[in-house]
Amino acid sequence: MGLINLDVFPRSTTGKNANRRTRAAGRVPAVIYGKDRETANMELDGHAFKVILSHMAGSAAIFRLNQEGVDEEAIALLREVQSNPVTDEILHVDLMEIPRGVDVTVEVALQVTGTSPAVKNNEGSLAMAINEIEISCRPSQLPDFIEVDISELELHDKLFVKDLTTPVGEIVTDPEALVLNIKPLAAIVEEEEEEGEEGEEGAEGAEGEEGEGDAKDEEKKED
């Protein structure tokens, strides 16, 4: 996910009671801190922030902060989201401002394009090893995703991180890491069957242990 616009609003009061009132009004208490700035107490639109989180899919989030009456652009990294463990209500958000001219290292999603001839002919299937890679670049240049073209991959072909290119910055992930490969359909079916057998064996083993425990309990009762 690339740079995300986030509206922030100044918060004049702090403390538990003030935070409760903020959340009751549909806002989320937040703080923005950084190396060359004072910590600022802010609040966010609760609904809008939940929507953003739902689209993040675990990727790092970098925001362009929009504040009414402030023309200077500020970019911040999401550092922490505190939530109620029972209700999942967002309680507090921590944002760290990124100084101008500094590169950041974040995970960027991979987006597969094209169709492998082997997959098209029902000879093989696409097997993803990783869905994201880390890149280092300026926050304002952060791409939404990295394209991975598989249109020329044949059966048994593999794609590694070193085969990828990024439009900006540089890739930080291990270049020898496997990204994906085109597996024969027969091999995939065999793997799924093996996984199923392992699951059954584990269940049988657990049942056997329970049976042994029950037998020992019965022996103790008889003694």
Residue 181 counted as domain residue: yes
Same domain as 119, residue 54: no
Instruction: State the amino acid at position 141 in one-letter form.
Output: Q
Residue 156 counted as domain residue: yes
Same domain as 84, residue 108: no
What is the rounded CA–CA span in Å between residue 86 and residue 104?
34
- At 105 the pLDDT is 87
Same domain as 113, residue 91: no
Residue 14 counted as domain residue: yes
Domain span including residue 55: 4-97
Q: How many domains does the chain have?
A: 2
Q: CB-based contacts of 173: which residues, under 8 Å, 6+ apart?
A: 130, 133, 134, 135, 161
Sign of the Cα torsion 85, 86, 91, 95 reads: positive
> From first to last of its 223 residues, what are the pLDDT tens digits of the chain?
567 889 999 988 888 899 999 999 999 999 999 887 889 999 999 999 999 888 775 556 889 899 887 877 788 988 899 999 999 899 999 999 988 888 888 888 899 999 999 999 999 999 999 999 999 998 878 888 899 999 999 999 999 999 999 989 999 999 999 999 999 987 666 666 666 666 666 656 656 565 565 555 555 555 5
- Helix, strand, coil abundance in the chain, percent, nearest 5: 30, 40, 30
Same domain as 137, residue 158: yes
- At 164 the pLDDT is 96
Residue 182: both structure tokens together: 């085109």
Residue 222 counted as domain residue: no
- At 131 the pLDDT is 94
- At 3 the pLDDT is 76
State if pTM tops 0.75. Answer: no
- At 219 the pLDDT is 56
Same domain as 78, residue 15: yes
Sign of the Cα torsion 24, 27, 28, 31 reads: negative
